Amino acid sequence: MLVHRLLAAAAFALLACGCGAIRFQHAWSSFEPSAERSGLEGRWKGEWRSDWNGHSGGLRCLMTRRDESHSVAWFYSTYAWILFFQHEVLLQVSQDPDGTLRFSGEQDLGAAIGGVYRYEGTAAQDSFHATFQAENGDHGVFEMRRVD
């Protein structure tokens, strides 16, 4: 009986992850930037790397503007070509006099993933660089380029 429950839970988890991937892919492929692209808005693609354990993988982000000083980053990361994770983070955004965007935010991804992750970084022209730090000690970088 326990084996059946574990199999059912695993099947449900895979189905839920698959639905999330489909939802992200649909939003990614149907995204249409505004006529005046501003701030972080748009599609970004690159990689993530953990300096804590050496893991790395692909990273995509769909960034939408919430208001004058906030954007929502919807991250979709892959690991080992078969595992993926997605999450959204509300970012506080400010602009330097030279046009560089600075942002920071945090999101609780749950104890199993590492707890609260804190992000901060910069974006200039079409280049995005951010660092992350988790409660469990994981830390690393996100490097992306804007995708038109």
What pLDDT is stored for residue 34 in this prediction?
Answer: 67
For the chain, list the strands marked E by DSSP.
42-50, 56-67, 70-79, 83-95, 101-108, 116-124, 127-134, 139-147
* Runs of H (alpha helix) within the chain: 2-30
pLDDT tens digit string along 88-122? 999 999 999 999 999 999 999 999 989 999 999 99
Which residues is 100 bridged to in the sheet?
none
Listed as ranges, residues in the chain with pLDDT below 50 are 1-18
This prediction has a pTM of 0.81
31-147 CATH choice from 2.40.128.20, 3.40.50.300, 3.90.110.10, 3.40.920.10: 2.40.128.20
